[in-house]
Amino acid sequence: MIISVVGPICAGKDELASILVEKGFLRLSLADELRGELDRRGVEITRKNMQDVGDELRMKEGIDFLAKRIVGRIEGNCVITGFRSPAEVKRLREFGSKVLMVDAPFDLRFSRAVERNREGEPLDLEGFRKMEERDLGIGQPEHGQQNAKCFELADSIIVNDGSFNDLRERIDEVLNAIS
């Protein structure tokens, strides 16, 4: 089974993927591909730099280039994170991927962002809103960030507004329903 995970910032995509890894899934990350690209270029790894280089490469290599880079590593049960373009999601659907969206209320996601205090990410409400607008695709070209269009492709939505155990239970319910 291949699971593609989409969702807004700080909704719990990485936690969902970690739970699936515990269940024996191989984890692949489109964002790790971008981190590798920034390393090769000697560019600092920040969210903005990853977005900018991702936008540049989607324009040069095609809007599904990140998905093309990882398809050769898919084997068995796989969970894939880091989507920014619906073309990436659609490319993985060709391999039978199910798309799970994880979501949480905006205020909860903002408090998680403040708590994790990731370098290069804003810790003020206005900065968080602006970052999310870019992620969602507001004012972005087709080769830019297009998360909102990725969300529209979800087969199932998991609301992550409780404990880690609540998330685990919701994942089990969805896996039972789609397998």
92-111: pLDDT as tens digits:
999 999 999 999 999 999 99
- Residue tagged 């490319």 (tokens): 91
In tens, the pLDDT along 134-179 reads: 999 999 988 888 999 999 999 999 999 999 999 999 999 999 998 7
Q: Is residue 179 in a domain?
A: no
Domain region containing 101: 2-174
| CB neighbour list of residue 54: distance below 8 Å, 6 or more residues apart | 34, 66, 84, 145
> Is residue 120 very low, low, confident or very high in pLDDT (cuts 50, 70, 90)?
confident
> Is residue 117 very low, low, confident or very high in pLDDT (cuts 50, 70, 90)?
confident
Q: Is residue 78 in a domain?
A: yes
CATH number at residue 30: 3.40.50.300
**For the chain, how many structural domains are there in total?**
1
